Chain A
Amino acid sequence: MTKKLIQQDIVSQAEALRKREISSEELVKTYLIELWEKNNEIGAFLSVSEESALAEARASDRRRAEGKSLGILDGIPFAAKDNLCAKNLPTTCGSRMLEGYFPPYDATAIEKLTAAGSILLGKTNLDEFGMGSSTECSAFHPTRNPYDLARTAGGSSGGSAAAVAASMAAYALGSDTGGSVRQPAAFCGLFGMKPTYGRVSRYGLVAFGSSLEQVGVLSRSLSDNAVVLSAISGYDPRDATTVRRDVPDFLSQIEKGIAGLRIGVLPEDALGELSGAVSDALARTVAECERLGARIVPASLPSLSLAAEAYYLISSAEASAELARFDGVRYGRRAEGASDIEELYKKSRSEGLGREVKRRLLLGTFALSEGYYDAYYGRARTLAARLGEEMRELLRACDLLLLPTTPSVAHPLGDKHRIDDPTVSYREDRLTVLANLTGLPALSFPVGRDENGLPIGLQLMADAFCEELLYRGAHVLANTNQKEAEE
Chain B
Amino acid sequence: MNEYEIVIGIEVHAELSTRTKIFCACGVAFGAPQNSLCCPVCMGLPGARPVLNRRAVELGVRAGLATNCRISPISSFDRKNYFYPDLPKAYQITQFREPLCRDGFLDIEVEGERRRIGITEIHLEEDAGKLIHGANGETRIDFNRCGVPLIEIVSAPDLRSAEEAVAFLKKLRSILRFAGVSECRMNEGALRADVNLSVRRRGEETLGTRTEMKNLNSFTYAAYAIEAEAKRQIEALEAGEKILQETRRFDETNRTTHSLRSKENAHDYRYLPEPDLPPILLSEDEIQTIRESLPPLPDQRREAYIREWGLSDYDAALLSSERERAEFFEEAARGTPFRKILANLLLGEAARLGGGEDFMCPISPKNLAELANLWGEERINSNTAKKLLGELWNTDESPEAVARARGWERSNDRELLREVVRNNLKENPHAVADYQRGKKAAAKDLIGKTMAASGGRANPKILQELVLELLENETIQND
Contacts of A329 on B, CB cut-off 8 Å?
85, 88, 141
Could you list 18 A-B pairs, sorted by A, with CB under 8 Å? Answer: A91-B47, A103-B47, A104-B40, A105-B45, A107-B47, A206-B47, A207-B49, A239-B276, A240-B278, A321-B91, A321-B272, A327-B83, A327-B90, A330-B43, A330-B88, A368-B272, A369-B270, A377-B272
Give the residue name and chain of the A residue nearest to B143 (CB). Answer: A330
Interface residues of A in 188-237 (CB under 8 A from B): 202-207, 209-211, 237
Closest chain B CB from A432 CB (angstroms) = 19
Interface residues of A in 265-316 (CB under 8 A from B): none
Contacts A105-B40, A321-B91, A324-B90; A239 near B49 (Cβ below 8 A): yes
When the two chains form their complex, are residues A240 and B52 in contact, meaning their CB atoms are under 8 A apart? yes
When the two chains form their complex, are residues A325 and B89 in contact, meaning their CB atoms are under 8 A apart? yes
Interface size, chain B (Cβ < 8 Å): 28
When the two chains form their complex, are residues A240 and B88 in contact, meaning their CB atoms are under 8 A apart? no
Interface size, chain A (Cβ < 8 Å): 44
Give the residue name and chain of the B residue nearest to A365 (CB). Answer: B270
Asked if A21 is at the interface of the complex by the 8 Å CB criterion, the answer is no
Asked if A140 is at the interface of the complex by the 8 Å CB criterion, the answer is no
Contacts of A341 on B, CB cut-off 8 Å?
85
Asked if A481 is at the interface of the complex by the 8 Å CB criterion, the answer is no
Closest chain A CB from B16 CB (angstroms) = 19
Cα-based distance from A323 to B79 in the complex (angstroms)? 13
Total A-B pairs, Cβ < 8 A: 101
When the two chains form their complex, are residues B81 and A324 in contact, meaning their CB atoms are under 8 A apart? yes
Asked if A93 is at the interface of the complex by the 8 Å CB criterion, the answer is yes
Contacts of A209 on B, CB cut-off 8 Å?
275
Contacts of A83 on B, CB cut-off 8 Å?
47
Asked if A136 is at the interface of the complex by the 8 Å CB criterion, the answer is no
Cα-based distance from A103 to B50 in the complex (angstroms)? 17
Contacts A203-B49, A341-B85; A318 near B40 (Cβ below 8 A): no
Q: Mark A67-95, 1 if CB is under 8 A from B, else 0.
A: 00000000000000001110000010100
Closest chain B CB from A325 CB (angstroms) = 5
| A interface residues (Cβ-Cβ under 8 A, vs B) | 83-85, 91, 93, 98, 101, 103-105, 107, 202-207, 209-211, 237-241, 317-318, 320-321, 324-327, 329-331, 341, 345, 365, 368-370, 373, 377
Option from B46, B89, B272 in Cβ contact (under 8 Å) with A103: B46
Contacts of A239 on B, CB cut-off 8 Å?
49, 51, 276
When the two chains form their complex, are residues B275 and A324 in contact, meaning their CB atoms are under 8 A apart? no
Cα-based distance from A377 to B79 in the complex (angstroms)? 14
Closest chain A CB from B427 CB (angstroms) = 88
Closest chain B CB from A156 CB (angstroms) = 15
Contacts of B141 on A, CB cut-off 8 Å?
329-330
Cα-based distance from A204 to B46 in the complex (angstroms)? 7
Contacts of A331 on B, CB cut-off 8 Å?
45-46
Cα-based distance from A209 to B276 in the complex (angstroms)? 10
Asked if B268 is at the interface of the complex by the 8 Å CB criterion, the answer is yes
Q: Mark B247-282, 1 if CB is under 8 A from A, else 0.
A: 000000000000000000000101110011110000
Asked if B157 is at the interface of the complex by the 8 Å CB criterion, the answer is no
Cα-based distance from A331 to B89 in the complex (angstroms)? 12
Give the residue name and chain of the A residue nearest to B270 (CB). Answer: A368
Closest chain B CB from A481 CB (angstroms) = 34
Closest chain A CB from B94 CB (angstroms) = 13
When the two chains form their complex, are residues A205 and B47 in contact, meaning their CB atoms are under 8 A apart? yes
Closest chain A CB from B467 CB (angstroms) = 80
Cα-based distance from A209 to B85 in the complex (angstroms)? 23
Give the residue name and chain of the B residue nearest to A370 (CB). Answer: B268
Asked if B29 is at the interface of the complex by the 8 Å CB criterion, the answer is no
Contacts of B270 on A, CB cut-off 8 Å?
320-321, 365, 368-370, 373
Cα-based distance from A321 to B270 in the complex (angstroms)? 9
Contacts of A240 on B, CB cut-off 8 Å?
49-52, 276-278
Cα-based distance from A402 to B123 in the complex (angstroms)? 45
When the two chains form their complex, are residues A241 and B278 in contact, meaning their CB atoms are under 8 A apart? yes
Give the residue name and chain of the B residue nearest to A323 (CB). Answer: B90
Asked if B48 is at the interface of the complex by the 8 Å CB criterion, the answer is yes
Contacts of A210 on B, CB cut-off 8 Å?
275-276
Asked if B208 is at the interface of the complex by the 8 Å CB criterion, the answer is no
Q: Mark B308-319, 1 if CB is under 8 A from A, else 0.
A: 000000000000
Contacts of B189 on A, CB cut-off 8 Å?
none
Asked if B335 is at the interface of the complex by the 8 Å CB criterion, the answer is no
Contacts of B45 on A, CB cut-off 8 Å?
103-105, 330-331
